[in-house]
Amino acid sequence: MCISIISFLGPKGTFTHEAANMIGDDLIPYCTIPAVLESVVNDESSFGVVPIENSIEGPVGITLDSLAHKFDLKIFNEIIIPINQNLIVNRGTKVEEIEDVYSHSQAISQCQEFINKHNMQAHYAVSTANAVRNIVGDKTKAAIGNSKAARLYDLEIIKANIQDADNNETRFVVVSKKDHKPTGNDKTSIIFSIYEDKPGSLYEILGIFQKNNINLTKIESRPSKKGLGKYLFFIDFKGHINDAVVKDIIEEIRNNTYFLKVLGSYPEFR
């Protein structure tokens, strides 16, 4: 992928930084997901990288809501990386010396068994990278984060892969103003809302994919922010928006919903 400037959810040393580094080196961190997306809208960057879901924690609501309501951007690509959490300390520190451990709330929740086993007091930080940076020089404290953060602040990993579950992965999306060209191994993401007063509406929409022999890879619901019981549905499915069958599916869904937004067609991550 030929890319000039890439914005990402910072700071440096986070898992999003690691994902962004997989597609380029000219990186600019932003403090929030909406700020990353706005940087692409304002041409401050060509692409933005943000998390969209975790295999254990589930969807990243602010990403889904921002793409649905606030920003007219396309998902240009996706990146999936394993989330390996590590116990990071100042050099020479031993596990039994650690009293307090710091990290992002998700990382803390993913490592509860290890934290409890070693009787550590957990503290939340705004990011794993900030947690690592803030323990520099204090041998009674540790942080949970990735190897990139440890290298960035010249600290040491004394226990690797301390997460409770080994199948922990996060999916990131690369957003752009433009669509990705078809590759032959693509998926398409859409958002839609169904008519409230029509029984079986969601069943009918899902039936459109079945009758066209198109495989769904994900379905997710989110509150529409227009009242209780009103939802948006996010669907990922095989195929590219340029495919004739996908065009027909999109048109049929559009005719049977009161809101539809195509988030983009992009290569499926391998």
Which tokens is 88 given? 């990071």
**Rounded to whole angstroms, how far apart are CA atoms 114 and 219?**
33
Q: How confident is the model at residue 228 (pLDDT cuts 50, 70, 90)?
A: low
From the list 252, 196, 187, 257, the residue with the least C-alpha distance to 216 is 187
pLDDT of residue 1: 44
From the list 237, 251, 257, 249, the residue with the least C-alpha distance to 75 is 237
pLDDT of residue 204: 87
**Rounded to whole angstroms, how far apart are CA atoms 137 and 17?**
24
**Rounded to whole angstroms, how far apart are CA atoms 114 and 103?**
14
Q: Is 62 exposed, middle or buried (0-12, 13-18, 19+ CB in 10 A)?
A: middle
Q: At residue 20, does pLDDT exceed 90? A: yes
Q: At residue 2, does pLDDT exceed 60? A: no
Q: Return mean pLDDT, the chain.
A: 91
pLDDT of residue 227: 63
Contacts of 190 (CB under 8 A, 6+ apart): 234, 235, 237, 250, 253, 260, 261, 262, 263
pLDDT digits (tens, 9 = 90+) for 105-119: 889 999 999 999 999
Q: At residue 103, does pLDDT exceed 70? A: yes
pTM of the model: 0.86
pLDDT digits (tens, 9 = 90+) for 198-223: 677 788 889 999 999 999 999 988 87
pLDDT digits (tens, 9 = 90+) for 128-177: 999 999 999 998 999 999 998 999 999 999 999 999 988 889 999 999 99
Q: At residue 33, does pLDDT exceed 60? A: yes
From the list 108, 125, 127, 134, the residue with the least C-alpha distance to 33 is 127
What domains lie within the chain, and their CATH numbers?
A: 6-82+168-176 (3.40.190.10), 86-159 (3.40.190.10), 186-267 (3.30.70.260)
Q: At residue 50, does pLDDT exceed 50? A: yes
pLDDT of residue 230: 74
What percent of the chain has a predicted confidence (pLDDT) above 90? 70
